[in-house]
Structure 1
Amino acid sequence: MKLYNMVFYFISGHGKGWAFSSVDLIKRFDRQQIDNILSDLTKDKKIRRVARGIYDYPKYSEFLKKELNPDIDEVARAYARKFNWKIEVSGDTALNILDLSTQIQAKYIYLSNGTNRSYKLFNNMEIEFKKAPLKDIGFKYKESSLIVQALKTLGKEHITNEIIEKIRNQIDFKMYDKILNDTKTSTVWIYEAIKQICKDNKK
């Protein structure tokens, strides 16, 4: 099989929306050839360059008849793998990703154990990494971090049935049990809310 096809199958195997850099490929493929193949895949519109050194396997909307914007959380985690950072989504960004904020955000903020950096994406969106203590970095799944940070930012008194339902609608039901196990050491009121979000995995 041609290396071009092998690289594309590896990328597409991660599913639509996956963001990555050449660092994600160098364990499997020859570094000297990767950049050329990524360039060719981009020209052939099989992948998309979303920022310098960062690509994604874009999702396409049949309804809108166009490629969707990059998955911000996927892009942030591609940067984290590239620079070997640990990251944690900020509260306001978690609210935006989970569709709990009415504000359209042009800048998405992540906390990091790396240096302060900011990156512009091709669609004028921006990801900023701020060096900060990471309090909830122990979560295994990105969904866990998103939910916990969003709930903490909203505050216990603002967790309504509507909020619970909105978050539930953003989470793949196959993740419910994993999230419940992943977040069981969270603050009691946060975990009680998470149990409401993940209460039905028999859809």
Structure 2
Amino acid sequence: MSVTESVQRQIAKVPQGEPFTNSRFLRLGSRAAVDKALSRLVEGGAIQRVARGVFVRPKQSRFVGNVMPDVSRVVEVIARDHGETVQVHGAEAARRFKLSTQMPTTPVYYTNGPTREIRIGNLKVKLMHTSSQRKLQHAGKMPGLALSALWYLGKNNISTEVVKRVQEGLSEEEFETLLSSRMPAWMSEAFRQYEAGRVHG
């Protein structure tokens, strides 16, 4: 069986709309042979290239045609491929918890890898290096998103109302995970005040 056929057979098992990288197929042949096979499949329309070295089996919607995978999902796949941890940047995290209405123009993620820009479709995405493991806790999960939002808001903008809103966006289990995270004293204090208020309220 040729490398192209082997790659094609493996791709058929990948769910439509789920991004994957070329490294997934390196056991099937040399990198050059795998890249050539993937290029042929892109030309034939069997798969689409969404970023450098990242592909997807097109998912069709009768309303919008091709459905592109979520940017976060593509970033996660790229990060995993490079052995990196990534976390949604605080500005976007705060927006998702309805703590800010600011819409970041360029999606930004924290990473323990190098700072760089990647292009996903027509979108520029920024990966910003951080050496703070606390900022990468629970990466890709809701408690991690909450931490990212709180770091972004900072010491002077965290109130019991903010903590309440964060709790409303999490399940009970997720909130417990958040409470047991490593956080700076000012963040812990906001949670302590919130818990105390709930007890007395």
Give the TM-score normalised by the residue count of structure 2.
Answer: 0.65
The amino acid of 1:129's aligned partner reads L
Deviations 1:66-85 (A, max 9, x none): 22343111121122123222
Q: 1:142 to 1:36 in 2, by over 3 A?
A: farther
What pairs with 1:123-142 in structure 2 (closer than 5 Å)? 123=122, 125-134=123-132, 135-139=134-138, 141-142=140-141
Where do 5+ consecutive residues of structure 1 fail to align? 169-175, 194-203
Q: CA deviation at 1:118?
A: 0.8
- Could you tell me how far 1:49 is from its partner in structure 2? 1.1
Match in the other structure for 2:11:
8
Output one character per residue of 1:35-92: Cα deviation in whole Å (capped at 9) or x when no partner: 1232233234333212222223454433x33223431111211221232222222111
Gaps of 5+ in 2: 196-201
- Aligned residue pairs: how many? 177
**2:127 alignment partner AA:** F
- Alpha carbons of structure 1 residues 8 and 151: separation in structure 2 relative to 1, 3 Å: same
SS at match of 1:107: coil
Deviation, 1:131, is 1.5
C-alpha root-mean-square deviation of aligned residues, in Å?
3.7
> Where do residues 90-105 of structure 1 align in structure 2 (5 Å cutoff)?
90-95=89-94, 98=96, 100=98, 102-105=101-104
**What percent identity do the matched residue pairs reach?**
23
* Higher Rg: 2
User: Which digits, 9 at most, give the CA deviation of each residue in 1:155-197, with x for residues without a partner?
Assistant: 44454888766x47xxxxxxx688467545236649x99xxxx
SS in 1 for 2:28: coil
- Aligned partner of 1:65: which letter? V
Q: Secondary structure at the match of 2:14?
A: helix
2:143, 2:163 → 1: CA distance? 19
Contact 2:87–2:139 under 8 Å retained in 1: no
1:120-199 pair list within 5 angstroms: 120-123=119-122, 125-134=123-132, 135-139=134-138, 141-150=140-149, 153=152, 155-159=158-162, 167=169, 179=174, 183=178, 185-186=180-181, 189=191
